[in-house]
Amino acid sequence: MAAKAQTQESGLDTLKLWVAILLLGAGVFGFYSLDDVSVLYRALGLVGIALAAVALAYTTDKGRRAWVFAQDARTELRRVVWPTRTETVQTTLIVLLIVLLVGIFLWLLDMLLQWGFGAITGVGG
């Protein structure tokens, strides 16, 4: 019996998600189709419709799980130890130097292979 109730709730959640998607699509369509109305009013209407669609999606199980995921991601982002400016500049310079060295190596390898194939086949300068 509990499985049946869970299935009905899931069906209702799916319907709510589709309604939220259609509502958002209608808002975007209305934004672009009502080009004779002020951009401010169209933008405010689109933001209002988007908020209504998000609120409707939040009432579903997937919407609540997505909200919890976003909160957890924000919490983890606060725990990150960000590098200092000096570390960032040093790392960037090292990466640029290595890219330059690898580029020069590949250019020299290309020149060597071109010369070798030219010497073997007699084609090229």
Average pLDDT over residues 76-87: 94
Q: Give the tens place of pLDDT for each residue, 2-18.
A: 555 454 567 888 899 99
Tell me the one-letter amino acid at 59.
T
Is the alpha carbon torsion for 69, 70, 72, 76 positive or negative?
A: positive
pLDDT at 1: 46
Specify the residue for token string 């951009």.
39
Query: How buried is residue 62: exposed, middle or buried, by Cβ count under 10 Å (0-12/13-18/19+)?
Result: middle
Share of the chain above pLDDT 90, in %: 80
Q: How many CA atoms lie within 13 A of 121 on its CB side?
A: 9
The reported pTM is: 0.54
Backbone angle region of 70, left / alpha / beta, with phi > 0 → left and psi within -120 to 50 → alpha: alpha
pLDDT at 9: 61
Q: Give the tens place of pLDDT for each residue, 13-35.
A: 889 999 999 999 999 999 999 98
For the chain, helix (H) and strand (E) counts, in that order, are 4, 0
So where are the chain's domains? Answer: 2-79, 83-125
Say whether 58 sits in a helix, a strand or coil.
helix
